[in-house]
Every structure is written in C-alpha cells, then in structure tokens.
Structure 1
Amino acid sequence: MAQDILIIEEVDVRRADDPDDTRVFSINKMGLPSLKRKEAEHTPGGGVGTINFLLPMADAFEPKFAVKGLDLDVLRKFGFTAGVFDKWTFAASLRNKRTNKLVPVRTTIQGIVSEWAPGEHTPGELLDCDHTLKEVRYVDLVIDGEEIFAWSFYGRFWRSGGVDLFAEYRTALGA
C-alpha cells in the first residue's frame, strides 16, 4: 500500500509543565531534532576502503524553533531555570491528504535553550528570533497517540516502533 501524504498545517512550542505557555501566534518555524545514528569510521590496513560502522547510539539532538518578535519567557528563563532542565512540547497538526483526517503530533524534549539568535531587524517587518536547544537528555515522538520514537540518555533506552533497541545492551551489562 502506498504511504499516505501527511502535510503539516500548524505548529506550536510550549513548556511542557505549562499548557497555557503557547507560542501558537508567534511561532514562525519549528525544527524537530534530527535522528542520526552514531558512526565510527574504520579504514583497515589491509582493506580496499573505508566503512562507517553504525553504533547503537544516537548523535546529539538539537531541536530548534523560531518566533516573530521577542519571546520574553525564553529570555527571562534562558538556559537553566532554577538549575533544572526545561521540558518542552513541540506540537503539530498533520493533515492526511488521502483521508482528510487531522493527525496530532507531539514531541517532548528535555534540554536547555542554549542559543538565542535575533535576526536583523528591518522597520516594518517583525524580528525573527531563533532558539536552539542542546544538552538534550530526553526526546520522544508521538503521532496520533502512537509512540514512534523515544530516547533517554539517563534512562538508557531507545525505543523505535515499540522495540527497545538498547535492551540487549543493558542486559549484557547486567543492568
């Protein structure tokens, strides 16, 4: 069966512990974190070339979002908030073009807003402000109520499609 076409229609970013902290009117763009496996390059002395071995680890996640105007909440709580990592909800609505059904998307991210980059301001235009999260220690992706992906640095799990890819490693280490 052919894959459905899912079109993003709306997005929002908010603090997970404050559902009223919406940026639905000011958000300009939202970048879910890239999912990339860690690679280890190897060139054997007697080999005919180089290979990049994939490891059971993920590269660092760096989600981003941009708003029009100044986001005073982010600026007042820039970086650490009372020494605690912020937990964010990146939300979107997808339209399934075959069924016309609206599909909710939620990504929960625990990390630190490490970069605030205001763009150049031109009179008569709204200022773009980009935000980047780093030191991400938890991320998940839930589409239409189904967990597609979940990863936790300290929880030491990586679930994809309901399968914990790291379970056998924890077992091998006796943890």
Structure 2
Amino acid sequence: MATNFYMMEAVNLFCGDHDPSASKHLTLTEFQLPALTEKYQDHHPGGSRVGIEIDVGIEKLTPSFKLAGFDPDMLDLFGLGRKGNKVFTGYGVIRDKRTGNALEAKAIIEGRLGKIEPEAFQRGEMHGHDYAISGVLHYELWFDKREKFYWDFFTSTWRVNGKDENADERRILRIV
C-alpha cells in the first residue's frame, strides 16, 4: 500500500551550464523529462504458434521544454555548427503531500539543442518556443539526493537505484 504521495510544484532549468545567468526559471512553462521506453523486437520462430517480443534495449531519450517569450541565448545553443554537447540541468520541488516536506528532484542531461519551434504569434496571447534536446549521451535522474537512473553512452553504464545493471556485460566485453 502506498504511504506517500509526491507532487511536483515548481521547476527550473539551466541550459548550457550551471551559471546562474543560464537559469530559465522566469520563462520556463513546461519541462518534460525523457520517456523511459523499452525497445522490443518481434520474434516468431518457425516452430512456434505464438510470437513473442524480445527486449533489445531502451529507446532514445528526448527531453523537451517550453519557454515563454523570445530567448536569443537559446539560439546560440542550436545548430550543427555548434561543436560538442551541452549540459542541461533541471531541478524540481517535489512536495510529499503526507508530510509536507519539500524534496529535490534533479535531472542532468547531456545532449544537443536539436529543436527550436516557435509558436505562431497572436496579438494579445503569450508567445513562446518549444525546444527539444536531441542526441542525448548522458542522463541522470535524482530524487531526494538519491540516484534513481544513471546512463552514460561512452562508458556503457546503466544504473538503477545505484545498482550497476550493466556490470556483467561491461566486464565480459572488457569495457572499463
């Protein structure tokens, strides 16, 4: 039986680095963590009447966010001409509705600003932009100072609740 009820109350996003001037807390209207979706391949062997699905990995991670107004600094982070990835760090205030305590959620995402989609301008309405982080190569999700997920493409590390789920594979393949 669930004894806690957690609700996100507020978020902030730092785009590009942890410089306080990179905070988007005044314009951030939406922040979507990447969906965690297992990838499956259908398999229907010749000797079986029933096909099955075989898990073959995890779908690519694509977080997104929305900012109100026009942000020229975000234009600087976009484009194929930009060399290297950027770090995007999101913070959330999560309230434990049972105890009233505020807890920290943190997501660290390394990738490229792969999409800037302006909304249609309409006089008298708030104008904003939708953004997506593409080419994610590193992702961490923390809840109340505890690591929930950690994934790094280059080291082939995948941890859940601090447990290295990929240790045997890395050991056998000699990936240090």
TM-score by length of 2: 0.92
Instruction: Provide the alpha-carbon RMSD of the alignment.
Output: 1.5
State the secondary structure of the residue aligned to 2:120.
Answer: coil
Does 2:3 match 1:23? no
Aligned match of 1:111? 111
List aligned pairs for 1:27-106, cutoff 5 A: 27-55=28-56, 57-79=57-79, 82-106=82-106
Tell me the alpha carbon deviations over residues 64-87 of structure 1, each in whole angstroms, 9 at most, x when there is no partner. Answer: 000111121111221368512010
* Letter matched to residue 129 of structure 1: H
Gapped runs of 5+ residues in structure 2?
Answer: none
Distance in 1, matches of 2:80 and 2:24, equals 20
Runs of 4+ in 1 over 2 A off after TM superposition: 79-82
Distance in 2, matches of 1:86 and 1:102, equals 29
Aligned match of 2:134? 134
Aligned match of 1:144? 144
Equivalent residues, number: 174
Distance 1:105 1:51, change over 3 A: same
Distance in 2, matches of 1:79 and 1:106, equals 26
Please state how far the C-alpha of 1:19 moved relative to its aligned partner: 3.2
Distance in 2, matches of 1:42 and 1:67, equals 43
TM-score by length of 1: 0.93
Gapped runs of 5+ residues in structure 1?
Answer: none
Distance in 1, matches of 2:20 and 2:141, equals 18
Please state how far the C-alpha of 1:134 moved relative to its aligned partner: 0.8
Please state how far the C-alpha of 1:167 moved relative to its aligned partner: 0.6
Tell me the alpha carbon deviations over residues 128-152 of structure 1, each in whole angstroms, 9 at most, x when there is no partner. Answer: 2100111100000011110011000
Aligned match of 1:5? 5
